[in-house]
Structure 1
Amino acid sequence: MRPGEIIPAEDPVPLNPGRPRTHVVVVNRGDRPVQVGSHYHFGAVNPELEFDRPSAWGKRLDIPAGTAVRFEPNVARDVRLVPIGGRRVVPGLRWEFAGKLDEREWEPTDPELAKPDPSEPAPSKPAPSEPDPSKPAPSEPDPSTTEPDAAGGSSS
C-alpha cells in the first residue's frame, strides 16, 4: 500500500441497509427547478414541491451522501426517503422546522407551507417613512458625543 492509495471494496457498498423506505411522488409546482441535497429534512423542503408531506416528516432522500435530486417544474418524480438517523435533531436549515424531530409532529396548518391564495391581497408593509410598530424606535445620536469631521460637520 502506498500513501494516499485507495483500495475499493470488491462488492458495492449498500445504501442505508436495513432502513425502512418511504416512496413519495413529488411534483414541482414552481416555475424554476428545485434541488434537494442528500441530508436535507425532506418534510421541510421548498413549499413549491407538492407531495404527501406528513409521510416525509423526519426523513431525507435515500441517495448517496453529497448528492442531490433535481425537481424540474411540473414533472412528477418518484423518490425514496429514509428516516434521518443519529440523534434525529435538525440543527437549522429552515428555522421553523429546527429541533428534535421526535418531539413534534407534522403540522398540516403550518403557514410556511400553505400556498398563498391568489384572491387574497398580499399583506402590506409599512411605508419607509412610517415607523414599524414591531421594531424599537431608532435613537438619535447625542450631539455632545460627536466629533467634527474634516468638512466642519459632525460624524458619529
Structure 2
Amino acid sequence: MSERATVEGTGLIPGEILYGEGDIAINAGAERLTLDVVNGGDRPVQVGSHVHFPQANSALEFDRAAAHGYRLDVPAGTAIRFEPGVAQRVALVPLGGTREVYGLSLNPPGKLDG
C-alpha cells in the first residue's frame, strides 16, 4: 500500500479540500427586498447573480424603480430562470462594493448612490 503524498512538514495533501465547521449563510445580515416578476416575453429569460436587477431583460415586468441598487439573493455564479407568462416572487439584496454599475446595458446608471 502506497502512502499519499503530503506537503513536507504539514500533513496537508496537495489539492485536498478542508471544510470549516458550520453552515455558510449567503448575504447574511443583508437587507432584503421581495418583488413579483412576470416574464411578459415569449422566450425564457435568465438573470445572473450579480446583474443590477433593474437592468435585466426588458421582457421582465416588475417595479424597476424599487429594484434600483439591488441584485438577486442567490449564490454567486447562479441564476434564476423566468419562464414566459409565469409569475415568480424573488428576493433581492443591495449591490455591494463601490456600488457602481457600468456596461450592463446601453444606459448603465454608473454610481448608484449620489
TM-score over 0.5 for the alignment? yes
How many Å separate the matches in 1 of 2:89 and 2:53?
13
Match of 2:24 among 2, 9, 13: 13
Greater Rg by CA = 1
Larger fraction in strand: 2
Q: Percent identity?
A: 57
How many Å separate the matches in 1 of 2:31 and 2:13?
39
How many Å separate the matches in 2 of 1:95 and 1:88?
18
Offset at residue 9 of structure 1 (A)? 2.4
Which consecutive residues of structure 2, in runs of 5 or more, have no partner in the other structure? 1-11
How many Å separate the matches in 2 of 1:45 and 1:9?
35
Q: What's the TM-score once normalised by structure 2's chain length?
A: 0.86
Higher mean displacement: 86-95 or 68-77 = 86-95
Letter in 2 for 1:78: R
Match of 1:63 among 67, 71, 74: 74
Q: CA RMSD in A?
A: 1.0
Q: What's the TM-score once normalised by structure 1's chain length?
A: 0.64
Letter in 2 for 1:25: D
Offset at residue 27 of structure 1 (A)? 0.2
Report how many residues are paired.
103
Offset at residue 82 of structure 1 (A)? 0.3
Which consecutive residues of structure 1, in runs of 5 or more, have no partner in the other structure? 104-156
How many Å separate the matches in 2 of 1:9 and 1:55?
37
Give CA deviations for 1:79-112 in whole Å, capped at 9, x if unaligned.
1000000000112111302411113xxxxxxxxx
Q: Within 5 Å, which residues of 2 pair with 1:31-42?
A: 31-42=42-53
Secondary structure of the 2:38 match is: strand
How many Å separate the matches in 2 of 1:88 and 1:95?
18
- Any runs of at least 4 consecutive aligned residues in structure 1 with deviations exceeding 3 A, and if so which? none
Higher relative CO (CA 8 A, sep ≥ 6), structure 1 or 2?
Answer: 2
